[in-house]
Amino acid sequence: MSGASGGQVRCRVDGHEVQLLPSVGSGSSTLVPVAPGRHTIGCYGIYQLVARYGEAELVVDVPPGGQVDVHYALPRTSEAKGMIGLVPQQRSATPHARTVLTNVAMAVVVVLVCGGGAALWQLLQDRA
């Protein structure tokens, strides 16, 4: 299992956290022994020791006596998705649709509040 540099990465196999220690001579890879069969691998980054970001999950089938290489890349921003797959992954910079929609909704609320406040101010000025 390998991850992109730039932050602390944590991974789980079938819901259990695994220790990501580099294997000898493998760069940033970690060998995680598992029994043959289907396994769910999830990885994410840690920001300031508590906040999770870049969560990604992949289901893999490990053959008897074989291994599966899984690659994870942290996103470039905390709003983007992490990337996980069977080949080396590019770090994403695209935010989740939820983040974009939340930002647009907040901008609309700010415009409405400011516009409503200005209209109320004008109404009070006209009555005075």
Which residues on neighbouring strands pair with residue 107, listed in sequence order?
A: none
* pLDDT score recorded for residue 13: 95
Whole-angstrom CA distances from 33 to 83, 105, 114 are: 22, 46, 58
pTM for the model: 0.63
How many Cβ atoms sit within 10 Å of the Cβ of residue 32?
18
Please, are residues 48 and 21 in contact by the beta-carbon 8 Å criterion? no
CA angle 108, 94, 1 (to 5 degrees): 145
Distance CA 12, CA 95 (A): 23
pLDDT tens per residue, the chain (128 residues)?
Answer: 444 445 688 999 999 999 887 655 555 678 888 999 999 999 999 887 778 899 999 999 999 999 999 999 998 888 788 999 999 988 877 666 666 777 788 888 888 788 777 777 888 888 86
Please, are residues 70 and 83 in contact by the beta-carbon 8 Å criterion? no
